[in-house]
Each structure stands twice: as structure tokens, then as C-alpha cells.
Structure 1
Amino acid sequence: MLLLCCLTGCKPTLDQLPEQQLIDQALQGNGAAAVRLAKKREQQADFSAALNWYQKALDAGITTELAAFIALKQQQHGFLATAAYLEQYLQQQQALNAAEVDLAAEYGLWHHVTEQIKSPPQRSNASCSLTLQPVVQSRAGSRQLQLLQQQWQQDPQLSALSVCFLPEIRVNSTELQCSHQVKQRIQCQYQVLMPFVAKGGFSQLLLVAGEGNANYNNGIVQLAQSSSFEVFRHEFAHILGFIDEYSLTTQVAQAECNSDKIRPNLLTDKSQLESYLKYWQLQRHQVQLHPVDSCNQAGKQAYAPVRALSFMRSHEAEVPDLYFQLMQKVLTRPELIMPVQYFYAYLARQQQDWRSWALLMEQAAKQGYPDAQESLRKAVTIPTAP
């Protein structure tokens, strides 16, 4: 075919060019040749070379291959590195086409996106014992949040709780930087949320961002952007003081199992039963003690107040009726739930940012949190030293 083209004067196609000629053309700025090489290297599983040729195609103006390049880059370098690259790339463009805006949303570069935020169904403020502020760092997180809120509304137990969700806040993934590590706890740069927390209007943060193990700590529910409703339900219960009924880590077990705090779903000793019944205003027949593994690492036998397998032992299990009643009881005293502002006040104190400490502590105190009120009483003036 190449000989025939030479005799007749026709120009060979890229597919007909020898490898070296294809490379030469790509190096001379032929974007189509670079794309051809990128596809070949990707098929050969030479991903580093494929990325290199895709980049040369983009440099030559073949922007239709941006999505393919970005997908391969995420596969090789991860979500956050890809988002950082995409942010730099988009900043160099004078105007974005629809495909580029779509990629910006997928990678949480929200300053390039104008799509509207869908607000969840709202209760009146008077019926909100607990208000959650959702935060997302990508479109996947936003979609999953909407799904979780729909499932919440459809759940006969949780939808009956006096809990409200505010419209989501979108934070650029390159700022929030939530991790994407399978089987590891998700970690984010929570400090960047300080301005939102300081404004108040909610008591808990709900992050649907990153990938890995969901968790709850210090007023922050951290879900993966693929977390199921069952995982959300489990982590939400931690806000209300419910403890895992499977074996806790040694550090957590030592803290929780040696505390005299009365938890809704855990007795660290059978001798706590009378105090438990009195605190939660329950009758003896309502409680059936069942051994659970929570305190194994602390050398103690703990007990759950129900015999049935619960969602605190297995995410997919049901919420026992007693646990639902206890959730409602906790929400009658929401001021005893630590607000996230109290945690952020602690972070501000670590930075010796006393002005932010006072503002955040005041927000926590306004919600009735006793420890915050006590801290403000002790601080007659804004402290100037630790």
C-alpha cells in the first residue's frame, strides 16, 4: 500500500505510517499523530508514555482528548493530583467548552461551574433539634448527598427525627483535599471550613467527599462519596452518642470503656444497669442485656441493651425500636451534643488565634453546650496567652 501511494502520489494515513515516522510527526506538533501514539501506548499498558503523548496532543490543540487524558491520569496518579493538573489546565483557557465545565464539576473545581445547588426538603427552624451542614468536593459527592437525603426522607424512623439539612456547600477539591485511600480513614483539610463553621447556623458538619473509611469525630461526619445509606445511618448515630458494638481500637476502648458517661447503647458493666435505666427513663422490661465486643481491647465485657443484631454492630442491620426511642430522647437535649464550633475553637486555640477562639466558642455556647459556656465564663477577656 505504501509503494502504491508513492507511485500514485497519494498521502499515507497515520495508521499506515511506520512507528518512527509517527513519532517524528508527533514531535513536530502533529496532534493527531500524538493521539494515535497515546492510544497505542495505552493499549500496550505503557501508561506513562500514553500520558506523555496525550499531553503533546493537548499542547497541539487536540482538546477532544482531554477527558481520555484525565481519566488515565487519575488511574495512574490519583484524584487529587489529577484535580490539581486540571485546575492549572483550565486556568490557561480563555473560555471553557461544555466538556471542560463538566470535567471541572467532576473534579470539584467549582469556580468554573454554574449549575444550581438543589436544596433538600426543609422543616421549620423550630422543629430542628439538630442541623447538619453538608459539604462536598466534587459532583460525585453532590450526587451521593442528594441520594442519601432522599433515602433519609424515605426512612420511617430517621425521617421522624427532628434533624435538618442545610443546602450543600461546595469547596474546591484542591482546597479541601479529601483523601482517596481504600481501607484508610478519610482525612481532609478541615481548617479550610473554618469560615463556614464560624458563621454558625448548624451544629454538625456532614462531608461527602473522598474515598476510604467513613468516620465521625468532633462534630464532623465524614462519608466517602460512595458511602451507602446504611453507613451514613451508622455514622449519624455516633453524633447522638451511640458506640460501635464491634471491637473498638485499643485507644478508643481505653477512653470509652473506662468512662462513667452513660451511652445510649452501651453498658461497660452490668452494675451500670440501674443508673442506665434511671438516666434514660426506661423500665427494666425494656432492656435485655446482650454481650458485645466493644470493650474487648480494654479487657472488659460490654453489653448492649438489646439482644437483636443492631446497626451499630453491623451496618446493614435494623435500628431496634429501643434505639430509635433513645435517639429521640437524645434529641430532646441537643445542647448536650458537642457542636462542631467547639472543636474548631480548640483548633483556633492551637494556633493562638484568640479572636477566632472567642467567636467559635460563643457560637458553641449559643447552642447551649455546657463546656463552651463554662469556657467563656472562665475567659473574662480574650486571652493573650495559652
Structure 2
Amino acid sequence: MLVITLLSLGCVSSSVSLFSPSYVFYAQKRPSQAVAIYHLAPNALNTQLDTLSTLQLRRLAELKNINATYQLAMRFLQKGDYSAAQLWWQTRFDSFSRLQQQRLADHLAADQQWQAISMLWRSGQLPNGNAKQSWYLRQSMATANISPQYAEQHQFVLSLNDLKAQPQCHFNVLMMTDHADGIATLKLFKQRYESKPEPSLNSFCFSEVVYVADQFQCNSSDNVLQCDWYQAEDYTWPAGFDFIVMMSEQGSANVRGGIMHINSTQPYAVFLHELMHFNGFEDEYTLPTQKQQWLCQQQGHVAPNLFIARQLKPPVGWQKSIACNNNLAYKPSPDWSIMQYQLMGLSEQYRQLWQKQINQPLTKPVRFLDYFAFLGLKPSITMASTKHSFSD
């Protein structure tokens, strides 16, 4: 009876658009008749596929209806059933429209289904768009592969061009990374710092995040993150910046020559700890033997938080420190601090010490250009007037 009724509706050519809601209504009420209805009025159902049940979509997809196949795959993706989704999109991906391919690939990338994205990439099927750009970043590909529009949309930059130091800040810091997770993490660190500046407002200003790909060949050596800064001479650096934060994928955090090396899995507390190293603070756990050989042989205030009482009395209230093995080292507090255990957070006592060090430094902070000079490098410095991109 239902099929007869629908056939009567289909007898008049102009009635398809007029009675489209009726076709959809019957398809919803009688799922078993979806195929019959599809044969009668394919265009009517094709415009209403999102209203059909999964079972109805499956039956239409089995008839090789491309739109139903796409809709079914997307429905499984939205439910997080990636295996079921792949059963439908993998063999029909080339038949999807370009817009459908982009939307499906973007959904896979947003859900970090990198194995599926890799498969599309290897087969030459990954369409241009956000998914492909995300994949390029995931592979740390050269900046020439990243579109400026994508970078602007995701709030990072591809070169040092146009970066300007903020004159109101004591120190300006370049934020650089070689991989996708680093972009997201550095943006979060910057946002968190700006929501609560330490040790006070305008102590540090951070640049936009700069994606530099693998130009500095950062890696973990003996679990210590390090980069090849001899490559720095090939690039033009913006004037007015004091320090660099370079974020890579692995290796323990450290500061050397005004450059913080940190990986994207480390928490904000570690970032804050390393930031204090820029201003001369020392670790309060036992220092490396090589460092002790010269630092612990001195006397007096050798750092804002380290006093060597060789022939002098330590400041009132300072306590023994394990930083040096000579039993002559003292630190400001008997308690653990952020410089001994990063996750302790910044106490008010150390905040005040930090502020004092900025206002009345014991020693001049080592800036990254000082380190470059120590390496024998003479990179160009610009006021952001030279176009330059970190590309091969």
C-alpha cells in the first residue's frame, strides 16, 4: 500500500519537489522502504540524508549512493567509531566531492587520527586544506609548505619578520618551536603568563609563536634538549629581544646562553623555573660536578638564591643548601622552592628575590646574542624590515 501511494505521488513530474517532505516522512516511518523510496525520488532523499537513521544510510550506501556513504562515515566519526567510519570512507574517498573530502579529512585531523591522515597522504588522496596543513606541521615540514593563511588562522607566524620588542618590558622573549604541539603549548604558556605575570607586570613580554621547522636540528642528547645554534648566522633576527624559548619534542629542559630549551610535554611550572634561570637563579638540587668546580669555589652571592660562605657569614635566615658538596652553600629558605622542585610553585619570598634581581641585578643577564657572539657567530639584526622565512 505504501509503495502504491508513493508511486501515485511520483506519477506527476512536478510532484517530486512538492511532496519531498512526504517521501522523507515515509522513509523515516518505514525504514525498510528507504531503498524503494530512494529509487522513486533519489534527489528528495539526497537533500535530507542527515535526517535518516544509520540503518537507512547503510542501505543507501550499499547501493553505492556516494552522498549516503559520506554521511554514514561522518556519522560514525562524530560518534568516535573510527573503525566503522573507515570501512565506509576508505574505498569511496576518491568518489566524494572535494568539499566532502576536506570536511572528512579535517574531522580526522581534529580528532588526531594521524594514522588515517598518513594513509591518505601516502596514497596521494589528502586534499589541500587544514588537514594537510596540520599534517605538514605534524611532520615538522619546512615553512615553505605552510600557508600564511593557515598560520594566521591558528595564531602563529612563519618568520621573524615584523616581530617587535615591547619597550615597556624589562625583557623580551622570542617564542620558537619546531613542531605542531609546540605551537599549542607555547600559546598556552604565553596566555597563562599574561594572566599572572611573574614576578610582576612588564617583567617579560613574549613574541608571537614562530614555527621554524627543523632548521636548528633540536634533539635529545643524554636526555638533555639541545639545538644547533650555529645555524643562527644564516638568519636575520629582530632587534630588542633578550632571550629565546625553543620548544622541541623531547629532552629535559635547560637554559644555556639566554636560550631556554624545553619540550612540549613539560608543565608550565617547569617553564617558570627555567624563566628564572634567565635572571641568574641557580638550581637548589645538587649541581653538576663540572659546574661545582668553578661556581662553588667562589664566595658570597654567586646567584640570587645561592651564597657561598667561604670566608663570609651567610645572610641572616639563610639555610644550608645541597647545591654544592663543600658544605659552604646556603639558600634563602629551609623549605623546598621552585628552584629545587619546580612543581612547588613560586613562593612570595622567591617572587621578591626575583624582582630584586631584575631591579638590582647581581650580574648582567646573558642574552642570546651574547651566546651567538661566544660561538663566533655574527647574525644580522633588523628592526623587522627584512623579509625572511625559516625555509629550506
> Is TM more than 0.5 here?
yes
Q: Which residue of 2 aligns with 1:259?
A: 298
When residues 126 and 99 of structure 1 are mapped into structure 2, their CA distance, relative to the original with a 3 A threshold, is: closer
- What is the correspondence of 1:142-181 to structure 2 with a 5 Å cutoff? 142-155=183-196, 157-158=198-199, 160=201, 162-173=203-214, 175-180=215-220
Q: Distance in 1 between matches of 2:128 and 2:156?
A: 27
Q: Distance in 2 between matches of 1:163 and 1:247?
A: 28
When residues 316 and 154 of structure 1 are mapped into structure 2, their CA distance, relative to the original with a 3 A threshold, is: same
* Matched residue SS, 2:282: coil
Which of 324, 328, 346 is residue 295 of structure 1 equivalent to?
324
Q: Which residue of 2 aligns with 1:23?
A: none
Q: Which residue of 1 aligns with 2:134?
A: 102
Query: Is the CA contact 1:264–1:326 (under 8 Å) kept in the aligned structure 2?
Result: yes
Q: Which residue of 2 aligns with 1:304?
A: 331
Deviation at residue 192 of structure 1 after TM alignment:
2.7
1:337 aligns with 2:343: no
Deviation at residue 262 of structure 1 after TM alignment:
2.9
Q: Distance in 2 between matches of 1:232 and 1:189?
A: 21
Higher mean alpha-carbon deviation, 191-200 vs 221-230, is at 191-200
Q: Distance in 2 between matches of 1:191 and 1:99?
A: 33
Q: Which residue of 2 aligns with 1:118?
A: 155
Q: Distance in 2 between matches of 1:307 and 1:106?
A: 45
Q: Distance in 1 between matches of 2:340 and 2:294?
A: 19
* Matched residue SS, 2:302: coil
Q: Distance in 1 between matches of 2:346 and 2:269?
A: 10
When residues 195 and 273 of structure 1 are mapped into structure 2, their CA distance, relative to the original with a 3 A threshold, is: farther
Query: Is the CA contact 1:220–1:340 (under 8 Å) kept in the aligned structure 2?
Result: yes
When residues 321 and 148 of structure 1 are mapped into structure 2, their CA distance, relative to the original with a 3 A threshold, is: same
- What is the correspondence of 1:1-386 to structure 2 with a 5 Å cutoff? 67-68=114-115, 96=128, 98-109=130-141, 110-113=143-146, 114-116=150-152, 118=155, 125-155=166-196, 157-158=198-199, 160=201, 162-173=203-214, 175-180=215-220, 184-195=223-234, 198-260=237-299, 262-269=302-309, 271-273=311-313, 287-296=316-325, 299-333=326-360, 336-348=364-376, 356=378
Q: Which residue of 2 aligns with 1:6?
A: none
Code of the aligned partner of 2:284: E
Q: Distance in 2 between matches of 1:164 and 1:156?
A: 9
Query: Is the CA contact 1:135–1:169 (under 8 Å) kept in the aligned structure 2?
Result: yes
Q: Distance in 2 between matches of 1:326 and 1:160?
A: 15
Q: Distance in 1 between matches of 2:355 and 2:164?
A: 16
Query: Is the CA contact 1:288–1:305 (under 8 Å) kept in the aligned structure 2?
Result: yes
Deviation at residue 342 of structure 1 after TM alignment:
1.0
* Matched residue SS, 2:167: helix
Deviation at residue 159 of structure 1 after TM alignment:
5.0
Percent identity between the two aligned chains: 22
* Matched residue SS, 2:295: helix
Higher mean alpha-carbon deviation, 323-332 vs 225-234, is at 323-332
Query: Is the CA contact 1:268–1:300 (under 8 Å) kept in the aligned structure 2?
Result: no
Q: Unmatched 5+ residue regions in structure 1?
A: 1-56, 73-85, 275-283, 350-355, 364-386
When residues 323 and 196 of structure 1 are mapped into structure 2, their CA distance, relative to the original with a 3 A threshold, is: farther
When residues 180 and 140 of structure 1 are mapped into structure 2, their CA distance, relative to the original with a 3 A threshold, is: farther
CA offset digits 1:270-318 (Å, max 9, x no partner): 75447xxxxxxxxx6xx4111121012xx34311022222111111113
**Considering only aligned residues, what root-mean-square deviation do their CA atoms show, in Å?**
3.8
When residues 172 and 128 of structure 1 are mapped into structure 2, their CA distance, relative to the original with a 3 A threshold, is: same
When residues 311 and 95 of structure 1 are mapped into structure 2, their CA distance, relative to the original with a 3 A threshold, is: same
CA offset digits 1:223-269 (Å, max 9, x no partner): 10111111111111111111111001100111211134631001122
Q: Unmatched 5+ residue regions in structure 2?
A: 1-89, 95-100, 158-162, 384-392
* Matched residue SS, 1:206: strand
